[in-house]
Amino acid sequence: MTVVNNVLHQDFAAYPKFGVLQGVKVFVTGTNIAGPFAACLMAEMGAQVVQAEMPKIPCQTRGTYSWAQNHRNCYAITLNAATARGKELFLKGIEWADIWIEAGRPGGYEKRGLSDEVCWEHNKKLSIVHVSGYGQFGPYKDKASYDVSGQAMGGYMYMNGVSPTSGPLKVNPYLSDYVTAYNTCIVALAGYIHAKNFGEGDSCDVAQYDNMFRLMDNFPAKWFNKGGIPGPGEPVPERTGNKADMACCFSFYDTKDGSAIFVGMTGVGPVERGYPIIGMPAPSAEEGAEIPIGCTGLPLFDPRGAKAEKLMEEFCAARTAAELEKIFDDAGIPNQRAYGPNDILADPQFEARENIVEWEDTVYGPMKGIGITNRFTKNPSKIVASAPCLGEHNREIFKLWGFSDADIDDMYAKGEVATWDAATTAKVKLLKEWGFFWDPERQCKRIGLE
C-alpha cells in the first residue's frame, strides 16, 4: 500500500502543477456524485477544481467516506446564486473557469438570470455541462431523481435479475451516478477542446437515464426490430443472474470451496484450448466433427452448448477456485474469481498498481481508500490535497477574485457564505454518533471534538 504525501490544505494561489490537465480550471455547482466526481477525476489529472455549495445546504455526501474519497484535490466555497451577492460570486467563478459543471434542477440557473448565454457573455470560451436525471427538456425534465432513477428508466434494471421470473435488480454502488460522471468528464473536456480550437464554448445536456440507456448494447436494437418483448408478468430471458443468457461456458461457476469463478471460454483460442480441459471434443476439421475448426463458442440453446455448459459446471464444482485459476491461467483461458475486501487487500496486482493508498483526511485523519486510476507516463496523476471542509477556501479564493477582507467579513455576518472546520463537520454530520469514526477517541481528540 502506498502512503500519499498530500497536505490537508492546499493553497489556492499556489496549486501544484502536475498531470495532463494542469492549467485547466473547473467550476462545479452540482452536489452529490455525478458532477463532483467528474471534477475529482479531472483534479487528480491536474485540473484546478472549485466546488460551490449552498451555505446552509451542503452536499449530502459531505462528511462521509465518499466525500473523503471523491473530493480530494478539490477546493470548496459557498454561495447562493439566488441572491445578489451569490450571483456576483457565481459570475466570478464563471469568469475564472474553463469548464462549468452544474447539477441543479433544469432551468434553475436560467430562472435566476444566469443562462448559458449570460455565462458566455462573461466567458465566451466556457465549456458548460448540465447534469440531471432526465435532461434539460422533455416531459420529465422537472422530475426528481437519484442514481436508481437512471438505472430504472434507462432499462438497465430491466435487464438484471436473479432469474427470468424474478423482479428487476439495481446495481451497487450508484452505477448511474458514476457512469454519468465519467461521461460528464468526457463531454466537459470535449467542450474545452472545441473552445481551444474554435474560440467559443458549447453546452452539453447530460441525463442519467440517457447514459444508462446507451449502455444497453444490442438489446434495444433486437427488441425494437425483431420483437419478442415479454408482456407484463412474463419471464424476462435476460435476467439470468450470474449466468450468461446466450453463450455456454461464459458465466460464473460455483467451486468446491464455496467460492465463485468467472470463466470465459469463447473465441477460437479459448475453445481450442479449453474444451478438451472440461471434457468436450477438441475442434476438428474432419467431416462430421462435433466441434468444427474455427468455432468461437456455442449458444446455450444448441445441444452441444448445453452439454459444454454442464461439463463446465461439473468441472468447476469438483475443484477449488485456486485450482481452477491455475488450470485456466496456464491454458490462457480468461477467468476471475469474485473478489471481496480481503482478496483485494492481499492481492499483489492491487499492490503493484498502487490501487490502495493511504492519505491524510482533514476530518478522519489517516485513512485508506482507492488510489489513482489512470496511469499517464510523462505527466502522472496525483493526490495532492485532502477533501475540503465546507467553505474552507472561501476567503482565499474570494480575495483572488477581487473581494476585500471587509467584503468577505460582511458576507459571513449576513450568512451569505459559511465555513465548517473538521469538528463542526463531525458534529453536524453525527460522525461519532453514527459510527463513522473507527477509532472515536483518537479521531475526536485529533480534531478537538469533545
Q: What span, in angstroms and rounded, lies between the C-alpha atoms of 68 and 422?
A: 12
Q: Is the distance from CB of 219 to CB of 246 less than 8 angstroms? A: no
Distance from the Cα of residue 269 to its chain's centroid: 34
DSSP at 302? S
Element spanning 67, H or E: helix 65-70
Q: What span, in angstroms and rounded, lies between the C-alpha atoms of 111 and 87?
A: 12
Q: Is the distance from CB of 35 to CB of 184 less than 8 angstroms? A: yes
Q: What span, in angstroms and rounded, lies between the C-alpha atoms of 227 and 223?
A: 5
Distance from the Cα of residue 209 to its chain's centroid: 15
Distance from the Cα of residue 196 to its chain's centroid: 27
**99, 138, 210, 184 alpha-carbon torsion, rounded to 10°:** 10
- Find the catalytic residue in 11, 98, 142, 177: 177
Q: Which three cell numbers stand for residue 294?
A: 474455427
In sequence order, what are the residues at sequence separation of 6 or more whose Cβ sits closer than 8 angstroms to the Cβ of residue 9? Answer: 362, 385, 386, 388, 392
Element spanning 26, H or E: strand 25-28
Going by C-alpha positions, the residue among 181, 109, 103, 110 that lies closest to residue 144 is 103
Q: Is 177 a catalytic residue?
A: yes
The runs of H, that is alpha helices, within 199-302 are 208-214, 219-226, 268-278
What is the β-pairing status of strands 48-53 and 127-132? Answer: unpaired
Question: Which residues are identified as catalytic?
Answer: 177
